[in-house]
Amino acid sequence: MQTTVRDLASEAQVRQLLAVDNQRLHFFAADLNHDAGWSEAMAGCTHAAHLASPLPRGVPKHPDELIVPARDGALRALRAAKAAGVKCFVMTSSVAAVAYGRGRGEHHFTEADWTDPTVPGLTAYILSKTASERAAREWVQREGGGIEFCSINPSVVLGPLWSRDYSSSVSVVQLLLNGAMPALPDIGFGVVDVRDVADLHVRALDAPNMAGERFIASGPFLKLRDIADILHAQLGAQAHKVPTRGVPDWLVRLIARFNPVARAVVGELGSVRHQDASHAKAVLGWAPRPVEQSIFACARALLRLGVVKA
* Active site residue ranges: 129
**Burial label, 91 (beta-carbon count in 10 A; 0-12, 13-18, 19+):** buried
Q: Rounded to whole angstroms, how far apart are CA atoms 15 and 12?
A: 5
- What burial letters (b/e) apply to 103-140, b meaning 16+ CB within 10 Å? eeeebebebebbbebeeeebbbbbbbbbbbbbbbbebb
In whole angstroms, how large is the CA radius of gyration of the chain?
A: 20
Q: Rounded to whole angstroms, how far apart are CA atoms 296 and 233?
A: 10
